[in-house]
Amino acid sequence: MSAKLPPPMFIAGSVGLDFLNSIATPEDTPVDWIGNGDDYLAWLHTAGLLPDADLTAIRKSVSARELDSAATQARSLREWFREFVHERQGRALSRSASDDLARLNELLERDELHWELTTLKPAKSRDAAPPFEMALRRRWTSSKSLLLPAAEAIAQCVVTCDFRYIKQCEGAACTLLFFDDTRRRARRWCSMAVCGNRAKQAEHRKRTRGSDA
């Protein structure tokens, strides 16, 4: 991640929605966490979509130009999914959406995944238990493969999030989306510490002005 960028935000309750939030205005200036190839790799890694070993291997084998191309494609995928979400949020997702998901399936069918037996780290290993586990690995055959983790996160969002409860933060200038999984579906803010607090301060100032009138 570029040193000039603040840490990315993962507040959505769904990595697919966090992918949409990889461009946002946390303060006054818009920030794009996948503005170039290196930033995109860093975002995938921070999101838990790119293991350490794969991150190292990709940086050694894929050129900066190819990485920047992947980031460009990722931004296009992001805005495609943003439009998909904005058109459907607030109501149940219907089967008629399948045609609009064709682009996603075209990406997913490129994937090359395989299982691998790996040794457990000592902290995870238990007495009398086999010291191995199965891990799903991805073959990074080209820079286009770098779209697959994001595509998978989007697909997971589509199948696990009730679109009736995908919301946009009510902050005046905030663009962040989230899945409201609270008990009463009453979440209003991306973060109470940020937009929620700003709203409280604005309401307090409004009441203060009213009492002074």
Q: Could you read off the pLDDT of 129-147 as tens digits, one per residue?
A: 788 999 889 999 888 899 9
User: Which stretches does DSSP call E strand in 50-186?
Assistant: 113-119, 132-138, 166-168, 177-179
22: helix, strand or coil: coil
pLDDT in tens, the chain (213 residues): 666 889 999 999 999 999 999 999 877 788 999 999 999 999 999 999 999 999 999 999 999 999 999 999 999 999 999 999 999 999 999 999 999 999 999 999 999 999 999 998 776 656 667 889 998 899 998 888 999 999 999 999 999 999 999 999 998 888 899 999 999 999 999 988 778 777 666 564 666 665 555
The pLDDT of residue 211:
56
The pLDDT of residue 204:
45
| Exposure string for 17-48, b = 16+ CB within 10 A, e = fewer | bbbbbbbbebeeeebbbbbbbbbbbbbbbebe
Distance CA 165, CA 1 (A): 31
Element (DSSP H or E) covering residue 65: helix 64-88
The pLDDT of residue 10:
96
Neighbours of 78 (CB within 10 A): 19
- pTM score of the predicted model: 0.87
Asked if 30 and 39 count as a contact pair (C-beta separation under 8 A), the reply is no
The pLDDT of residue 49:
97
The pLDDT of residue 74:
98
Question: Domains (ranges, CATH) in the chain?
Answer: 15-109+143-212 (1.10.3300.10)
Query: How many Å separate Cα 97 from the centre of its chain?
Result: 21
Give pairs for 79-88: CB < 8 Å, separation 24+.
81/16, 81/19, 81/20, 81/154, 82/20, 85/17, 85/20, 85/163, 85/166, 85/177, 88/163
Tokens of 156: 């997971």
Judging by beta carbons within 10 Å of its beta carbon (0-12, 13-18, 19+), is residue 133 exposed, middle or buried? middle
Beta strand 132-138 with 113-119 is antiparallel
The pLDDT of residue 20:
98
Instruction: Report the amino acid identity of residue 7.
Output: P
Distance CA 177, CA 24 (A): 10
The pLDDT of residue 173:
82
pLDDT in tens, 64-81: 999 999 999 999 999 999
Nearest alpha-carbon partner for 157 in 23, 19, 64, 45: 19
